[in-house]
């Protein structure tokens, strides 16, 4: 997994996600139905969200959310976006993340 910092200019609202943003941060996962690494990513992100107060995990089907995929330039699944409390993208990663990487990326958001 490669984690990249973002400038915070791109943001997502609860309406766009279809779920509430976390009080402190939101982990947004773009997945596809037959993506094996997406399943492992789901487990890691859910585990981290459960460990850190105020962090939500939202999984989106990339095939059903093509408008967001195009706008956010999601090129592969899984792609994970770390949003701050206001919904701004502060970190972005493609590929299956390690738990330590997710926790470190959350540090930029909270």
pLDDT digits (tens, 9 = 90+) for 53-86: 999 999 999 999 999 999 999 999 999 999 999 9
Claim: this prediction has a pTM higher than 0.85: yes
Report how far residue 109's alpha carbon sits from residue 60's, in angstroms, rounded to the nearest whole number. Answer: 20
Report how far residue 80's alpha carbon sits from residue 95's, in angstroms, rounded to the nearest whole number. Answer: 8
Query: CB neighbours (10 Å) of residue 68?
Result: 17
Report how far residue 92's alpha carbon sits from residue 69's, in angstroms, rounded to the nearest whole number. Answer: 13
Q: How far apart are the first and last CA of the chain?
A: 21
Name which of 89, 60, 94, 63 is nearest 79 in CA terms.
Answer: 94
pLDDT digits (tens, 9 = 90+) for 2-55: 455 555 568 899 999 999 999 999 999 999 999 999 999 999 999 999 999 999
């Amino acid at each position: 997994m490669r984690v990249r910092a973002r400038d915070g200019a791109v943001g997502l609202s609860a309406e766009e996600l279809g779920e509430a943003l976390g009080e402190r941060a939101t982990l947004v996962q773009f997945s596809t139905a037959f993506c094996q690494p997406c399943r492992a990513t789901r487990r890691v992100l859910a585990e981290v969200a459960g460990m850190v107060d105020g962090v939500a995990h939202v999984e989106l089907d990339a095939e059903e959310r093509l408008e967001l995929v195009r706008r956010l330039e999601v090129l592969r699944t899984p792609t994970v976006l770390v949003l701050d409390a206001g919904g701004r993208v502060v970190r972005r990663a493609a590929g299956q993340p390690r738990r330590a990487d997710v926790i470190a990326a959350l540090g930029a958001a909270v």
